[in-house]
Amino acid sequence: MATDMTPRFDQLRCADQDRELVAQVLNNAYAEGRLTFDEHADRIATAYDAKTFGDLDVLTADLLPRDPHVAAQPATPAPAAQRLDSVAIPGAYTGANAILSTQKSGSISTVAGDLTLNSWLGEVRLDLVGATFASRHTTVHVGVLMGEVKIRVPEGVEVNTSQITNVMAETKVDGVAPHPDGIVLTLVGTVIMGEVTVLGPRIAKQRKYEKFAQ
């Protein structure tokens, strides 16, 4: 008798993008008070160690509705700055993870309309100067645990940090020079015992802005 060797879905190997999506769900759940500090920290660590979809599924089983139609239809429409671009651009920068490490973006040609920056006991540096934005409304999902996220923006970019939850942490915006019809950069997420800094071209310490990418 033939044996079905097709692996179950929960046995399939997951990718970095899958781990990032789960991390964002956990960040949002913590910000909403559905996870305690210890639960969030434990699940985040497990998410980045996950090998299969089964490993990831158990981390959000008590957070996501079982009916996929419920998850796909929020009670109220999300603001334009929070929606994903309708068209994905191949090769666009979508984010980085720094776990006990430092991640520098280097020179970026195109920035996706929705990206994720996670820093766990590490540092992420994102340089947006000279980059092309895929969407005028760009959302940066931030998850920081005892780490740092630093972003350099060019002139004309407006930065909104009202959707960041700080827990014994700090979010700073310095020297930005927004234009009425310029890019709107919205930061969303949770910062726990860490720091998020956004630097613009009008910062008092110009050398700090100029040397950012080094």
User: 3-state class of 204 per DSSP?
Assistant: coil
The arithmetic mean of pLDDT across residues 64-82, rounded, is: 38
pLDDT for the residue 75? 36
Give the DSSP letter of residue 137: E
- Residue 43's φ and ψ, nearest 5 degrees, are -70, -35
- Asked if the model's pLDDT at residue 200 lies above 80, the reply is yes
Per-residue confidence at 22, pLDDT binned at 50, 70, 90?
confident
What tokens were used for 105?
């973006």
pLDDT for the residue 186? 96
pLDDT for the residue 156? 92
For every residue of 70-132, DSSP letters joined together read HHHS-SSPPPGGGSPPSS--TT-EEEEEEESSEEE--S-SEEEEEEEEEEESSEEEEE-TTPE
pTM of the model: 0.63
- Asked if the model's pLDDT at residue 78 lies above 50, the reply is no
Per-residue confidence at 197, pLDDT binned at 50, 70, 90?
very high
Per-residue confidence at 210, pLDDT binned at 50, 70, 90?
confident
pLDDT digits (tens, 9 = 90+) for 103-154: 999 889 899 999 999 999 999 999 999 998 888 899 999 999 999 999 999 9
- Asked if the model's pLDDT at residue 36 lies above 90, the reply is no
The arithmetic mean of pLDDT across residues 66-83, rounded, is: 36
Cα–Cα separations (whole angstroms), residue 167 to 101, 116, 164, 170: 22, 19, 10, 8
